[in-house]
Amino acid sequence: MDMAENDTHHYDILVIGGGNAALAAALQAQESGAKVLIIERAPQFYRGGNSRHTRDFRIMHAYENDYMMGAYTEDEFMEDLRRVAGGEIDESLARLIITKSAELPEWLSNQGVRWQPPLSGTLHLARTNMFMLGGGRAMMNAYYRTASSKNIDIWYEALVEDLVIEGNEFTAAQVRKGNKQIIVRAKAVILASGGFEANIAWLKKYWGDAADNFVIRGTPYNQGNMIQTLLKYGAESIGEPDAFHAVAVDGRAPKFDGGIVTRLDSVPFGIVVNRGGKRFYDEGEDFWPKRYAIWGGLIARQPGQVAYSIIDSKALSKFMPSVFDPIVADSLSELADKLGLPPSQLQSTVQAFNHSIRQGTFDPSTLDDCYTEGITPPKSHWAVPIDEAPYYAYPLRAGITFTYLGVRINNKANIQFHNRQVCNMFAAGEMVAGNVLRRGYLAGFGLTMGAVLGRIAGEEAANVIK
């Protein structure tokens, strides 16, 4: 790199990314008096990455408060994470995130974030999760306002393209801003630039052409180029390459940035069929908050990466309504016609399902005793006949939230390299998700992981430059 001196900027700590993990890191680093620069590739209006779409943090707490019902202990949180993580994770890092989550409500309040009691239709999270007033965008606005008031510099529409690591030390980043190339020299760097979920070409390496049919629920700016750069310089990779958090979204959702309102929660209240009109998974396996994040992957593996949630009029009011109207018909064959499904197959799937139901007491708040017998796949709970016209359907697609492949860190959020120890490079947020998530997900853990590790990274970066 041959750069004129006036294209070079000097800071104590450079933070790459502009979401929850980045802002937590920057604000924490600034508390020690460090001169901090945040580089966000999105324009100001779209700042905040996927964090802009969020609603709640998962928080360990000993007592009920105004915003969370009852207690949620370290052990229960850890057990919940273990159950859904889907494989081996770094348990000591996970426990650190959990214990330090208890500090977040106060610390975030000090950054200007405000809270609200849980809304209905929020996946039964009233005891375990704390909801931001105004959601992720209000949270990000508060973070940025506080950062500006503390003289943290922020560059928008600036893309970090490469890093300079000399020997065992990070020394600079190469940045493109419009058609200008800029060098930022810093004593330490914190990478918090998200996963690679918006990079369809990268997803195709593991999913083939199916990735063309995925919907990306969040920001188009998370292309993973910093993960690629770190791996190029010998950072240890972590996480399953094809693993991601993916939910069922309405098939009519936009390709990018549709956010929370395109998610569909109708699955446990009916059946889901593929484009052949056949069921393919237990729609009532467990409570929806524990299962919603696997449905994107299930749909991703169906022909055409499409599925259809089928319900009848009894079910319509039982879940948070979709932003799109359901497709409605007076008979199942008319519904099949409208969806382009084979009518006789849909009818026989529904008939077989209805006949297999062992009648119980329907109760969406418990793992009730309404289940099927003698069909594959079974429906383990909330199985009630689909028999009251009109019938409704929602087309479903795989909505990718974020990817898990990233870089390994230690308990100081310090990035681990194969061939050397680089003490002044840290990472937080989605790009380190694979350290504590293998395949599954726990609602609210993305933000918690990002804020806790961001704060640790900020503090440790400030320590190494002293």
Ligand X SMILES: Cc1cc2nc3c(=O)[nH]c(=O)nc-3n(C[C@H](O)[C@H](O)[C@H](O)COP(=O)(O)OP(=O)(O)OC[C@H]3O[C@@H](n4cnc5c(N)ncnc54)[C@H](O)[C@@H]3O)c2cc1C
Query: Interface residues with ligand X (CB under 6 A)?
Result: 16-22, 39-42, 48-51, 53-56, 159-160, 192-194, 217-219, 221-222, 225-226, 259-260, 401-402, 429-430, 444-447, 450
From the CB of 206, what's the least distance to ligand X, in Å? 19
The torsion angle over the Cα atoms of residues 202, 207, 209 and 210, rounded to 10 degrees, is -120
The residue among 174 and 333 lying less far from ligand X, judged by its C-beta, is 174
The residue among 16 and 273 lying less far from ligand X, judged by its C-beta, is 16
Determine the Cα–Cα distance for residues 296 and 313; give it in Å rounded to an integer: 25
The residue among 222 and 416 lying less far from ligand X, judged by its C-beta, is 222
Q: Which two tokens stand for residue 78?
A: 């850890």
Determine the Cα–Cα distance for residues 402 and 85; give it in Å rounded to an integer: 15
The residue among 190 and 332 lying less far from ligand X, judged by its C-beta, is 190
The residue among 21 and 271 lying less far from ligand X, judged by its C-beta, is 21
The residue among 41 and 187 lying less far from ligand X, judged by its C-beta, is 41
Q: Are 147 and 23 in contact (CB under 8 A)?
A: yes
Q: Where are the beta strands (DSSP E) in 268-390?
A: 271-273, 306-312, 327-329, 357-358, 371-372
From the CB of 219, what's the least distance to ligand X, in Å? 6
Neighbours of 253 (CB within 10 A): 24
From the CB of 420, what's the least distance to ligand X, in Å? 23
Amino acid identity for residue 301 in this structure = R
Q: What CA–CA distances, in Å, run from 126 to 131, 269, 289?
A: 9, 21, 12
Residue 181 exposure: Cα atoms within 13 Å on the Cβ side: 10
- The dihedrals phi and psi of 458, each to the nearest 5 degrees, come to -60, -45
From the CB of 58, what's the least distance to ligand X, in Å? 7
The residue among 45 and 376 lying less far from ligand X, judged by its C-beta, is 45
**Residues 153, 11, 162, 191: is their CA dihedral positive or negative?**
negative
From the CB of 163, what's the least distance to ligand X, in Å? 10
Determine the Cα–Cα distance for residues 192 and 198; give it in Å rounded to an integer: 15
From the CB of 15, what's the least distance to ligand X, in Å? 9
The residue among 221 and 233 lying less far from ligand X, judged by its C-beta, is 221
Within 8 A by CB and 6+ apart from 284, the residues are 268, 370, 371, 379, 380, 381, 382, 383
From the CB of 23, what's the least distance to ligand X, in Å? 8
Determine the Cα–Cα distance for residues 203 and 209; give it in Å rounded to an integer: 9
The residue among 30 and 222 lying less far from ligand X, judged by its C-beta, is 222
From the CB of 415, what's the least distance to ligand X, in Å? 14
Q: Which two tokens stand for residue 407?
A: 């870089």
Rg of the Cα atoms in the chain:
23
From the CB of 278, what's the least distance to ligand X, in Å? 29
With 0-12 / 13-18 / 19 or more C-beta atoms within 10 angstroms meaning exposed / middle / buried, residue 259 is: buried
Q: Which two tokens stand for residue 186?
A: 């810093």
Determine the Cα–Cα distance for residues 189 and 183; give it in Å rounded to an integer: 13
The residue among 222 and 266 lying less far from ligand X, judged by its C-beta, is 222
From the CB of 224, what's the least distance to ligand X, in Å? 8
Q: Which two tokens stand for residue 136?
A: 């992720």
Neighbours of 271 (CB within 10 A): 25
The residue among 139 and 335 lying less far from ligand X, judged by its C-beta, is 139
* CA 155 to chain centroid: 25
From the CB of 238, what's the least distance to ligand X, in Å? 15
Amino acid identity for residue 320 in this structure = M
